[in-house]
Chain A
């Protein structure tokens, strides 16, 4: 990434964050669509933002197989192969938090999506060199969830 692109990126992120002014450490979004439709919308939005869904953990299937009552509940893991490889090499302390994930579960005929805001990683990993990555993830995640919320 050259200097000018990084500068542009910083400016872009500053603008994005200053206008959205996000604060809390978790984010939760409600979709009016049912679970299956929301799951499709989430995977499409992740793909549209340049990430790849690496796995969908079917938490509800495992629970039901063991006799526990649950509604639909999945965890969607996503990331970018090159980015994860680079971070794992240079910042191994991030490995337990990779790939990124979004939990998605049914709430009646609606669907909830929740995850930790990547910008809150700053408190966990204050290394200055990581903050641009966290801010980018945060920007993308908010956009992904907004796309899901608005999808019809």
Chain B
């Protein structure tokens, strides 16, 4: 039977030869940790916004914050307020790759915001928190007519992640998700209205005033976007559940039989066997390998291609693998749980695929232990 277990419960295989000594070391470590945390929590070092930007933002938003994978953080017209950037760093975009940087200090966030603003120059705008009132039904019609093509019929945003083959390369960015708790918590009505009225130069977002809409129409669209807060969460904002990080199953067979069974089960489930190696292959000299841990790599190239188109980061856990381990006379199959990994990627488009992969791993393990 396949089980989804947390192996940290396997105390019989954990090394803990001197509990008393270990405890005292841990106490000293905790004391030092507390001391160091208290000491370094004080702003002894000036926070370097440029360095933080390079570390956290540059890869997606570009060196000059003009966008690329992520949206531009500045606009040629200087429309983006500090408050929006600050809240976006804190809230992220659930299910849309942009993480919530909850562990950054307020000083860090302020330094990043200041750096972003310095890239553009000029005084950052600010928008009153005055709600925009409008006709919801008319706003819905206008949204379908003018916004849905890029932002999705339900405001769920453009498809793909933004990198490599996952979006059309003729577009500078992907259309952001508007029906997203992170966006709605970061952008106030007046800011959204200004975006609609002026557009963002250098992106597909046009000025809808210039496109012929009246200010009242734009108010109606803003009201429709704001009403997303009262709607069920968009499918693109769903984050995968917390589940066990590992799928594992005990095997009633010996190590070699289990390995052979896994290889056979892989083929029966439409995967191609790629290779078998020990866990330490490439790390130790040939012949010195530990023969008790064997990785079996396999792939379904159609799934692989689809996964990489959806989010190129998933290659990190590809090709698929099941490790067969013999320990204390017991043989066990183990794999990282794709459903749990999906949560790390913060990409809702991966949820379905990862769910499917988890089921496939379980089926392969079941087949191998029949």
The docked-state distance in angstroms from the alpha carbon of A112 to that of B316 is 12
- A70:B308 contact, CB within 8 angstroms: yes
Which of B282, B293, B327 meets A55, CB within 8 Å? Answer: B282
Q: Which residues of B contact A19 (CB under 8 A)?
A: 40, 45
Taking a contact as CB atoms under 8 Å apart, the answer to whether A15 and B36 are in contact is: yes
Residues 55 to 108 of chain A near chain B (Cβ within 8 Å): 55, 57, 59, 62-63, 66, 68-71, 73, 75, 77, 79-81, 84-86, 88-93, 95-99, 101-103, 105-107
Instruction: Give CA–CA (A96, B297) in the complex, Å.
Output: 12
Residue of B nearest to A121 (CB): B245
Complex Cα–Cα for A141 and B104 (A): 19
CA A81 to CA B336, docked complex, whole Å: 21
On whether A30 and B279 interact (CB within 8 A), knowing A71-B165, A95-B323, the answer reads no
Q: What secondary structure prevails in chain A residues at the interface with B?
A: mixed
Q: How far is the CB of A134 from chain B (nearest CB, A)?
A: 13
Residues of B within 8 A of A129 (CB): 16, 22
* B42 CB to nearest chain A CB (Å): 10
A36 proximal to B (CB < 8 A): no
Q: What would 19 more interface pairs be, CB under 8 Å, given A25-B344, A105-B312?
A: A10-B32, A14-B40, A18-B37, A21-B105, A52-B283, A62-B274, A71-B164, A71-B165, A80-B283, A88-B290, A89-B13, A93-B334, A95-B325, A96-B246, A96-B336, A112-B163, A125-B8, A128-B26, A132-B29
The residues of B with any CB-CB pair to A shorter than 8 Å are: 6-8, 10, 13-16, 22, 24-26, 28-29, 32-33, 36-37, 40-41, 45, 54-56, 58-60, 99-105, 108, 163-165, 245-246, 274, 277, 279-284, 290, 293, 299, 301, 304-305, 308, 312-313, 315-316, 318-319, 321, 323, 325, 327, 332, 334-336, 340, 344-346
Q: Report A's interface with B, CB cutoff 8 A.
A: 3, 6-7, 10-11, 14-15, 18-26, 28-30, 52-55, 57, 59, 62-63, 66, 68-71, 73, 75, 77, 79-81, 84-86, 88-93, 95-99, 101-103, 105-107, 112, 114-116, 120, 124-129, 132, 142, 146, 149
